[in-house]
Structure 1
Amino acid sequence: MATDKIFPLESLPNEVFIGIFQFLHPSHLFQAFYNLNCRFNYLLQSLSWLTLNLTTNSYSNDESFPFIRILIINRAINIDFNQFLHIRSLILRYPTDKLLSQLNHLTFPQLQHLYINHMHISVLNHIPNLCQKTFSNGFPNLQSCHLFEWGTLVKTFTWTLSPLLHTVKVGKIDLAIYKSILTSCPNLSFLQLATLTSANTSTQIIPHQKLKRLIIRSTPFIQPWKDNDIDCCLSYAPNLEYFSVHQTDMFLKQKCDWLASIIRCRLAFLQQFVFYFHFCDIEHMKEQSVKINPEGMCNVPSRFEYLPNELLISLFQYFDARDLFQAFYNLNSRLNLLLQSLHYLSLTLFKYNSNETAHYYDFTSYIYTLVIDYAVNIDLNHFANVHRLILLSPTSSQLKQLVHSHLPYLEHLSIGYEHFLFCDYIPDLCEKIFSNGFPRLKSCSLFEPRILEILPHMAPSSQIYVLKIDNIDLSTYESLLSLCPNLSTFQFNILDDFEEICAIKPHLNLKRMIIKFQSHVKTLPDSIMNQYLSCVPNLEQFCIYEINFDVNIREYLTFNWFSSLIHQHLSHLRRLKYHLYIYRTKTYDDNVIHQMKVKFEHLHNHNYLSRLILNIV
């Protein structure tokens, strides 16, 4: 066996390994793959999501520790943080005194996300120092923090600046600490509070210009917010776009305008406001008539318009182009611009009424993919931007339009079998395809049975990279290779007409070839396959589809599966797939099938991956 053989596992791409690694515990992952070779070492060290969840104190120093990016430590766990060199996210649940005393920028120089919650009463003395580090750039790379979801934030020192901090979630705070957070976090965009209380402070700060989202959560077990506190809070966040509050019925006033007057006064740029009203006393709820109709809030944009463009684009993929434009076009300038920018708009026409032509004018110039059946007679000139055109069963009228239309952006063309045979426009269309008549054409699927008869004098078409053809012979094969010098993928069916050509000029750019043929009684001779393989020396992927009728499958036990030809001509081959379809066989035998597979693997046991796929009907 060759010493330089590539093993199947190592031949997998990095993307597949990364997908597999997500299901393995870091300790098991490093035990299995670390120090196998440089590639695996580099791959493991580059995993940006490597997560370790510590639930017991039984973990000792591990090879994976220096490369952990996300560390989760649960209740009563003690560990030395110096073992972890690249922590980006740290989550502590009920942290111990030992863990909290280790939190500093020397231990976590790359920390970006910090989550600390449910602190025991015995470690509450760490809160002031931890807040000081968080809001005074004690962690220079910190971008988000979640501190004491229902606890109270304490400030005993003056905070400076944390310029990278953009997301903050904290527990109970008063207005003084609220102002300190805004002052110390100039780039804050998201702030969530458990509740907001009054404070004896007259400190004035400059309104925060970058805060866009504010959430104030409340429960029956903590002190509620008051309208005056909300008013003061919002006065320092004039550019809020999203605002939500929680309130319970036990704190609701008899006369309530649901913050409408405060919002109208303070938040000129608000796009969405959500008031979560929690009923705690069900009997009280039945007795009272609660009317939620905040006067003056009808101008808040609808939730659909609040969705970002990325989400709308994702939703639009499930619409037919006609329905999409009928529903959203000309609603507003934003949706118009969004629809016109879509690069995947697809239109499939199985029938067409000429009386509806006017309905198509709004969107035909934006169609990217057009699929047309035979019963459709529509002017292709309306689809000036079409990149992909598929004629399922073309009529003479459709082919005539294709010959005379410009279609400057056409990149892929697929032409099925003619609905009416012997169309006069097939020769002109073939000449246009293979003579750069479509200047951007890269891919072509031409299922036209008469292409053998249509070989006009054509210039080479340098832009076609993918070509799929129906039945061809060696002469047509030779012509197509010469017409498409940059062809990289070629699919075709071999005719039974086994002619021989002395020599075909080598095609050096073809990398992938799919050959289909039918065999009656015996399979395709090596002499024929030799003609097709001898001129494509740089082939990397080779796929064969053989359909065999009335064959004795025992004959495949002496078949060499074209192995000698592949070894002779395809030195750069990386993958071979052989699909064998056998119909109406009367000699089916599991043992013979097994021997066929064993022989195939033995003959193709070389420096490329090979697979035999049997389909016996």
Structure 2
Amino acid sequence: MNDNGVTRFEDLPNEIFRNIFDYLTIRDLYRTFVGLNIRVDTVLRSIDHVSLTLWSSESANDPAIMFFASQLNRLMVVNDGIETIDLTHFSNVRSLKLKYPSNKQMSQLLQSEQLSYLEYLSLGFVRDLSESSITDKLHRHLFSNGFSFLYTCTLVNTPNPAPNWSISPNLRSLTLLGPVTLSIYNAILDSCPNLVRLILHAFIDKSIVPPTFSSHHFLRNLSIQITKWSTNKMIDSLLMQVPKLQRLHVKMLPPVASIDFSQLASILSERTPRLCRFDCDMMIYKYTIDTDIVHHLHPCFMRIQCNSEYGRFHIFTDNNDKL
């Protein structure tokens, strides 16, 4: 407060500064406050939990980003043209999402000690596969505890299991958007013994007899989109490894001839006795069983509904919890 009894901006306590700064972007903070005085610069340097989304290569060279680079804990790179960005500048980032990762960025993920502290990692589609070995090395690094603090991961490009994969004990949630076979599914479960949640967006495998496997006792939530449905034995092959599963979501594309719900109920009862929620979304051409009968085949089938659409039957579960 000055001699006239007027409170000036620089008279405000640091807590008020931080509250004000929370409403501004890092570019606004840099252009408005950096260099104002030593005290304000000190407060700016103390800000943590800073998030940033990069949309263009020009923004990657913004001095505001370089000023706050070491304070960023969440970074998303959206544009596939931002290949020159040096990820190692962001030494404290804990959440990283690369929509179109370049080979250079994947190499930085492999080589940077600072980036090994990531807790969340999302890697989008790798367009340049001229050096596919880098992608394989990164997947091997990931599934061999190279990111020992990693808790949640999303991958678009399908990992190729290697004999020298070890384990990633801290990984709890994994989403795979590319095609996944039964052998990859088995390798994931072996490599991630404490995995709780697994989402597979494109399961495709003609083989219904799994190789040797060990039961996975921590997986509780499995969501799977099956692109080629042969018989319920495919579901059986997946579930025999996860006896403590509690939630299962199955989506099928494209439409199939029919589903034996009685057999499916038996598989669920035998393989997943702790299952408490089953969700489905599928189109079938032949539906010969009454929905009321389906409801009584398994306790988790109570929410199954059926609508006739364009000569096919849409089997789905509603959002009302009747369990």
Report the TM-score, using the length of structure 1 for normalisation: 0.43
Identify if the C-alpha distance between structure 1 residues 224 and 47 changes in structure 2 by more than 3 Å, giving closer, same or farther: farther
Q: 2: distance between equivalents of 1:227 and 1:145?
A: 29
Contact 1:27/1:63 (8 A) holds in 2: no
Q: 2: distance between equivalents of 1:54 and 1:23?
A: 19
Q: Give the aligned residue type for 1:45.
A: S
Identify if the C-alpha distance between structure 1 residues 205 and 215 changes in structure 2 by more than 3 Å, giving closer, same or farther: same
Which structure has the larger Rg over C-alpha atoms?
A: 1
Equivalent of residue 100 in structure 2, options 94, 119, 142: 94
Q: 1: distance between equivalents of 2:121 and 2:187?
A: 19
**Superposition deviation, residue 138 in structure 1:** 0.9
Equivalent of residue 138 in structure 2, options 124, 127, 130: 130
**Superposition deviation, residue 97 in structure 1:** 1.9
Could you report, residue by residue, the CA deviation over 1:533-567 in whole angstroms, capped at 9, with x for unpaired residues? xxxxxxxxxxxxxxxxxxxxxxxxxxxxxxxxxxx
Q: 2: distance between equivalents of 1:28 and 1:278?
A: 51
For structure 1, which segment, 32-41 or 82-91, has the greater mean C-alpha deviation from structure 2 after superposition?
32-41
Q: 1: distance between equivalents of 2:264 and 2:18?
A: 50
Q: 1: distance between equivalents of 2:98 and 2:289?
A: 43
SS at match of 2:144: coil
Equivalent of residue 204 in structure 1, options 201, 204, 212: 212
Equivalent residue runs for 1:239-388 within 5 Å: 239-248=244-253, 250-253=255-258, 255-257=260-262, 259-278=264-283, 293=291, 294=294, 296-300=296-300, 304=321
Q: 2: distance between equivalents of 1:138 and 1:252?
A: 44
Quote the residue 2:72 is aligned against. 68
Contact 2:151/2:171 (8 A) holds in 1: yes
Could you report, residue by residue, the CA deviation over 1:36-91 in whole angstroms, capped at 9, with x for unpaired residues? 4457635653422x112111111225201111111111212111112111111111
Asked if 1:168 corresponds to 2:174, the answer is yes
SS at match of 1:72: strand
Quote the residue 1:187 is aligned against. 194
Gaps of 5+ in 2: 304-319
Q: 1: distance between equivalents of 2:48 and 2:230?
A: 44
Contact 2:169/2:194 (8 A) holds in 1: yes
**Superposition deviation, residue 28 in structure 1:** 2.5
**Superposition deviation, residue 207 in structure 1:** 1.2
Quote the residue 1:41 is aligned against. 42
Quote the residue 2:27 is aligned against. 27
Q: Cα RMSD (Å) of the superposition?
A: 3.2
Q: 2: distance between equivalents of 1:256 and 1:121?
A: 44
Equivalent residue runs for 1:547-566 within 5 Å: none
Equivalent of residue 108 in structure 1, options 112, 115, 120: 115
Contact 2:145/2:168 (8 A) holds in 1: yes
Identify if the C-alpha distance between structure 1 residues 201 and 107 changes in structure 2 by more than 3 Å, giving closer, same or farther: farther
Q: 2: distance between equivalents of 1:242 and 1:277?
A: 17
Contact 1:137/1:163 (8 A) holds in 2: yes
Q: 1: distance between equivalents of 2:198 and 2:283?
A: 21
Q: 1: distance between equivalents of 2:248 and 2:121?
A: 24
**Superposition deviation, residue 202 in structure 1:** 6.0
**Superposition deviation, residue 208 in structure 1:** 1.3
Could you report, residue by residue, the CA deviation over 1:139-189 in whole angstroms, capped at 9, with x for unpaired residues? 1211110001xx433123421111111010013222222122112212211
SS at match of 1:275: strand
**Superposition deviation, residue 124 in structure 1:** 6.9
Q: Give the aligned residue type for 1:55.
A: W
Identify if the C-alpha distance between structure 1 residues 223 and 131 changes in structure 2 by more than 3 Å, giving closer, same or farther: farther
Q: 2: distance between equivalents of 1:217 and 1:38?
A: 55
**Superposition deviation, residue 109 in structure 1:** 2.9
For structure 1, which segment, 113-122 or 63-72, has the greater mean C-alpha deviation from structure 2 after superposition?
113-122
**Superposition deviation, residue 118 in structure 1:** 2.1
SS at match of 1:108: helix
- The alignment covers a number of residue pairs equal to 292
**Superposition deviation, residue 290 in structure 1:** 6.6
Q: Which structure carries more relative contact order (alpha carbon 8 Å, separation 6+)?
A: 2
Equivalent of residue 165 in structure 2, options 136, 159, 165: 159
Q: 1: distance between equivalents of 2:216 and 2:120?
A: 22
**Superposition deviation, residue 298 in structure 1:** 4.7
Q: 2: distance between equivalents of 1:115 and 1:162?
A: 16
